[in-house]
Structure 1
Amino acid sequence: MILETRGIGKRFGSVLALRDVSMGVRAGEVTCVLGDNGAGKSTLIKILAGVHQHDAGTLLVDGREVRLTGPRDALDRGIATVYQDLAMIPLMSVWRNFFLGSEPRKGLAFDVARARRVAREELKAMGIDIRDVDQPVGTLSGGERQSVAIARAVHFGARVLILDEPTSALGVKQAGVVLRYIARARDRGLGVVFITHNPHHAYPVGDRFLLLNRGAGMGEYGKADITPQELTSLMSGGAELEELAHELRRE
């Protein structure tokens, strides 16, 4: 277990954004966090990424209780977060974006040759086929940009990779591209936290599934404990709809 939460909670003034959420992230596994808008996914991400500090419960890294003081603290512990905006500059080349903020140096100068070579090699190691690392990153498809962000996090030493809705704005083919790279990150021994509202994207790559509803955890399930149909039903409020239908029949 690399990363674990036990009964995590977060309050913003009088608003209880997250309460009693427990989950675990293991090396070589994908933990999917599912929930509709307002379920608490963004708050949970920001606690794990060091943006917010939790008010209740316990956060553990490598089995030791911690309180992350900021995103740099999380990165130093090997927790990298890829947000939906990807923090990329569209007009800059792929290799420049790959090293943005962490440029390799040769003396005082930016080692351009090394940056190009390493970016190309790291993308290839992840199975990512970019035609030309000199092309602007804005010319890539959404799935390709996501894959570059994933490869960048892996290269810079991430042990836990948190992905914020990486497939939400993508078509079926591009979503499939991203899901394959999530599986490759897992196969390289990373613990992956895949945040999504789409159970059809989560189930093929997920090893564990945490469901959130209105800030509360609805349970964490192993893949052997839940079917795709059950996951979809829980996500869509199937039990609540059945109860409502039963009440309407009685009326």
Structure 2
Amino acid sequence: MSDEQREVLSISGVGKDFGAVRALRDIDLTVHAGEIVALLGDNGAGKSTLMNIICGSNTADHGEILVSGQPMSGLADAKRLGVGVVYQDLALAPHLSLTENLFLGNELRRGMFLDRKRMHAEARAAIEKLGISTLRDVRLPVGSLSGGQRQVLAVARAMNWATDLILLDEPTAALGPKQVGIVLDSIRSAAGHGLGVILVSHDIPNVLKLADRIVILRHGTIIADLQPEGLSVADVMTVMVGDEVAA
């Protein structure tokens, strides 16, 4: 099986209830290595619940989730199976350097001491892997970076942890056009290195440029799995909200 055919994520019959509210029902979804899949839907459609289950911060009540063929349920499994996550708030420490953020909680050591030389070298390699030239000094404090540069750093950190799958929550939110371009390039680079990518975004124009597939949720169910070619923003919005948007 070629790498492009390999399933890095397989979800079958997944459901989630919060009391009497069924947040997700009968979710079936596959993601392959090197594929970018966008999850779209109106507020309350179930996107965040599904992402939280895939990243392990919540568990499904029904169904099965496999990451690279291995069952996953919870944070311990997600970490063991190498699921990388970029949260909307990025979860970066502004007073620490790029290197320190990349390795926070996973520091490299030589005996009792931190191996800073090796961490700096691997941090440079991680940034270069994304093909982004705007981050040159890995010793800079993250607080000195632009919003786009911080987002790229968060992608690099997730790639540093991930083996097969990376999840991104609103990766282009509150960024200017130039910064958005840098972030989209970093996501394409992640997929180009064989990672399956799932992203949640309200930025439909850029989703149409970036994604290989667009999966749309409504009321906790997948209602469409689309190829973006030939679709307009209006087409996507119509599917998202049904008859509420006129053609």
TM-score by length of 2: 0.90
Aligned-residue RMSD, C-alpha: 1.8
Of 82, 85, 92, 1:88 maps to 92
SS in structure 2 of the partner of residue 2 of structure 1: strand
Which residue does the alignment assign to 1:148? 153
- CA distance in 2 between counterparts of 1:76 and 1:67 reads 9
The structure number with the bigger radius of gyration is 1
Shift of 1:63: 4.0
Which residue matches 1:108?
112
Q: State how 1:1-251 maps to structure 2 within 5 Å.
A: 1-63=7-69, 66-68=71-73, 70-129=74-133, 130-223=135-228, 227-229=231-233, 230-235=235-240, 237=241, 239-242=243-246
Stretch deviating more after TM superposition (138-147 or 183-192)? 138-147
Partners of 1:29 and 1:207 within 8 A in 2: yes
Q: Distance in 1 between matches of 2:56 and 2:69?
A: 17
Report if the CA contact (8 A) 1:23-1:220 is conserved.
Answer: no
CA–CA distance in 2 between the matches of 1:174 and 1:39? 28
Tell me the secondary structure at the aligned position of residue 122 of structure 1: helix
Query: How many Å separate the matches in 2 of 1:121 and 1:148?
Result: 12
**Cα contact 2:8–2:196 (8 A) shared by 1:** yes
Query: How many angstroms does 1:6 deviate by?
Result: 2.2
List structure 1 segments (4+ residues) > 4 angstroms apart after TM superposition. Answer: none
2:88 partner amino acid: Q
Check conservation: 1:24, 1:31, Cα contact below 8 A: no
What is the DSSP-based 3-state SS (H/G/I as helix, E as strand, rest coil) of the residue aligned with 2:206? helix
Task: Say how many residue pairs are matched.
Answer: 239
Unaligned segments of structure 1, at least 5 residues? 244-251
Residues in 2 aligned to 1:170 and 1:184: alpha-carbon distance in whole angstroms: 19
* CA–CA separation in structure 1 for the residues paired with 2:221 and 2:161: 33
Deviation of 1:11 (Å): 0.6
Q: Deviations over 1:122-149 (max 9, x none)?
A: 2012112213211111211121111111
| Secondary structure in structure 2 of the residue aligned to 1:92 | coil
Alpha-carbon deviation of 1:8?
A: 1.6
Does the 8 A contact of 2:9 with 2:32 survive in 1? yes
Alpha-carbon separation, structure 2, partners of 1:241 and 1:112: 55
Tell me, yes or no, if the aligned pair for 2:129 and 2:189 is still in contact at 8 Å: no
Give unpaired runs (5+ residues) of structure 2: 1-6
Whichever residue aligns with residue 18 of structure 2, its letter is F
Distance in structure 2 (CA, Å) of the matches to 1:4 and 1:222: 19
Q: Deviations over 1:172-231 (max 9, x none)?
A: 22122111111111111110001112211211111111101232211212345x623422
Q: Offset of 1:104 from its aligned partner?
A: 0.6
Shift of 1:67: 4.3
